[in-house]
Structure 1
């Protein structure tokens, strides 16, 4: 598929609520500081601390690097827990909005269906579902010709709002996209994309059907390269 795997220690961020925002920002600030410590030694989380023949390197402070890496791993775990609480809070917030605005959404949907019947245009997606999808979380960097992605209609420059059940709150730097693709080989996935019009600033939202598969003549199951936003 070509989803990039890097060794950047910075965790992804989402807008935080007042309850966990301070803790999240504190963790990310410390991660940034620790990243600077590793950078000052010219290493990252995966750099070998031994020479080619297995001896400890004498050009770096190995003890400090190991301590820093251990702290980073600990903070990553803490960050995941904070993000889980934030995601749960966001889901609860949207659920409350959905309940509070249920009558309005029902009336609006009915009006949309009536307008669709009179104009012949398809009705819009359910408003609650559209609100839950939120902002795009990935961009299509490239698409291989004749690949499953190309056959589905994906184009370079498209941004992804949802990929199967993956959206901006749960994509985990696209790792969930990779999981969904592996689990859905031979089955179509609905991919909601936003495409910028060539003629101006307007955008179009599209629902594409993408079927991951092997044997199409190239690498991976999709034939496209996604990058997180």
Structure 2
């Protein structure tokens, strides 16, 4: 009776770890509406959560060794299922990253076209002018409020002010900000790139100003963090 074979590559995914639907993010996705892209994003997040639950049920994570000290498959866990689950998570995360980039590009292009229309309109001023017909009739509800802004910071340069209520921060909105975790994710993933931030600013007790600001996270501004502002959830 021969000895069992060692599985030196046991940690390798059971199927190629490349993206499972890469054309969705880079190709066909551009033909989808924003609502459809957002729905696909929600579906991916739900599946990633479910797959994470599968790993949790086995008492493992993405880094847990699947072999014994002498290199043989562990007998106390379902190695095959764990490898398959890990492979799916890797592919989904690749797709998810691409989809977020697609959403970000969609928003940039959409609001850039709005800004271009404002620039040629009679009486158009700077980026912090009050927006009129270019604002959709239905505005997103604010989900965060700017608490403080450091002078000379990227947030200051973008025009953010204490008291501004944030309705959209790139692809982040009230429905998906997850306790502002998505804001941090958006900032980290767009260092050195412009992020469109839509805010509501109270200029008088009964008047509000709707603004769209361009914020570029960066480290070299002379202070802490990438933004230089502190925001709180509403």
Q: TM-score, normalised by structure 2?
A: 0.43
Higher helix share: 1
Q: TM-score, normalised by structure 1?
A: 0.44
